[in-house]
Amino acid sequence: MKRRIVAALAAIVLGATALFGGASAATADGHVGAPYVAIGDSEAAGTGNMPYVDEDCRRSAKAYPVLVGDAVGAPVMSAACAGATTSDVLGQAVLLGQTGVLGPATELVTITAGVNNVGWQTVLPACSSAGTPEACAAAKAAAIAAIPGIVPAIAQLVGLVRTLAPGAAIVVTGYPPMFGTVTEMCSVGSSGGAPVKFTPQLAAEVNAGIDGINAAVAGGVSAYQAAFTAQFGAPDPGVEYADVTTAFDGHSLCDTGERWISGLSSGKGTVHRGFHPNAAGQQAYASAVMAALAG
């Protein structure tokens, strides 16, 4: 995973250099920085929604940063990569800063990070019908223990982005609830030919876990704001947390409305869709970001 992310970032560096005609992305007045930069994990990459513009990072042409870029009239320069932790996303920001893609002329930065810190790819299968009570308990314990570390990691990430892009609006997103209100067994597809299901209790626990991650991400933004206020006497007006929970109301797995999160699929090109927002979910993300920008 680390090797894939590093290789993908190297490709971003080369691509950015070619796109902007040199070692840095400079505007006509000499300022460095693309107008809109996106960093993050698979949610920001739009993983699972074909076609991909970057196969290594599973970054989609339907990802929410592309939609936001269309809405604000500034094509996105995205480094978002499937599997990225907050540490990996920090690395994305560092490399984009070094190449001049992220800089003083950057006007907007979106960030989605945190969920991969808790190993959600382990928790979901372990706590489904495909797992065991023992595996589920161990996975949940490890995830719960990792959540508090998201707070300082997000604060550090926002602080770095602000240093590199002092004039940018920065929007940090949360994550949608995986399940809605589930009252009976929830089937999410199959793995290895066997159906994968979640009991109402486990679905509720997964939702509670997402709530905890969102609280930690929001807490990281608050921690950054507290440090900024201590130094400058007032909060940073350019930093916002975008809660996407409401945007997905009624549209999670096994929810009352159309699914905006994909279930499991074993088909070629679709295997990575599982538990990721589909095209409608990416639009919901974009709407939440735009609402945060509107204040």
Pair 79, 38: CB distance under 8 Å: yes
Model's pTM, two decimal places? 0.87
Name the token pair of 88.
């990996």
Q: For residues 137 and 126, what is the distance between their CA atoms, to the nearest angstrom?
A: 8
- Say if residues 81 and 143 touch (Cβ distance below 8 Å): no
Q: Which of 20-24, 81-85, 127-131, 276-280 has the lowest mean pLDDT?
A: 20-24
- Kindly indicate the confidence band of residue 194, based on its pLDDT and cuts at 50, 70 and 90: confident
pLDDT of residue 9: 39
To the nearest 10°, report the CA torsion of 186, 192, 193, 194.
-40
Tokens 């990575």 locate to 272
- In percent, the amount of the chain with pLDDT more than 70 equals 87
Question: Can you give the length of the chain in residues?
Answer: 295
Q: ∠ CA(95), CA(99), CA(102), 5° rounding?
A: 75
The 10s digit of each residue's pLDDT in 238-289 is 999 999 999 999 999 988 889 999 988 765 555 688 889 999 999 999 999 9
CB atoms inside a 10 Å sphere around CB 171: 24
Q: What's the whole-number mean pLDDT along residues 192-198? A: 81
Which amino acid is present at 113?
A: A
pLDDT of amino acid 277: 96
pLDDT of residue 172: 98
What pLDDT is recorded for position 214? 98
d(CA 55, CA 32): 28
Domain limits, the chain: 2-294
The rounded mean pLDDT for the chain is 88
Average pLDDT over residues 59-65: 97
The amino acid present at 268, given as its one-letter code, is K
Q: Do the Cβ atoms of 245 and 177 come closer than 8 Å? A: yes
The rounded distance, in Å, linking the Cα atoms of 16 and 178 is: 34
pLDDT tier for residue 8 given thresholds of 50, 70 and 90: very low
Q: State the pLDDT confidence band at 20, using cuts at 50, 70 and 90.
A: very low
Distance CA(155)–CA(161), nearest Å, equals 10
Give the amino acid at 78.
S
Among 33-42, 174-183, 241-250, 266-275, the range scoring the smallest mean pLDDT is 266-275
CA–CA separation, 147 and 145 (whole Å): 6
Q: Given CA atoms 249, 174, 103, 232 in this order, what sign does their dihedral have?
A: positive
pLDDT at 17: 35
The per-residue pLDDT for range 199-235, each reduced to its tens digit, is 999 889 889 999 999 999 999 999 999 999 999 999 9
Out of 79-88, 91-100, 187-196, pick the least confident.
Answer: 187-196
Query: How much is the pLDDT for 45?
Result: 98
175 or 122, higher pLDDT: 175
Which residues 6+ apart lie within 8 Å of 29 measured at CB? none
- Contact 244/172 with Cβ under 8 angstroms? no
Per-residue pLDDT, 209: 92
pLDDT value for 244: 97
pLDDT of 127 > 50? The answer is yes
| Pair of tokens at residue 150 | 């998201």
What CATH number has the domain spanning 2-294? 3.40.50.1110
Element of type H or E holding 109? strand 108-112
CA dihedral 99, 103, 106, 111 (to 10 degrees): 80
Q: Where are the beta strands (DSSP E) in 57-156?
A: 59-60, 76-78, 108-112
Neighbouring C-beta atoms of residue 60, cutoff 10 Å: 27
Judge whether residue 61 has pLDDT over 60. yes
Reported as a pLDDT band with limits 50, 70 and 90, residue 2 is very low
> What's the rounded Cα separation, in Å, for the pair 129 and 161?
41
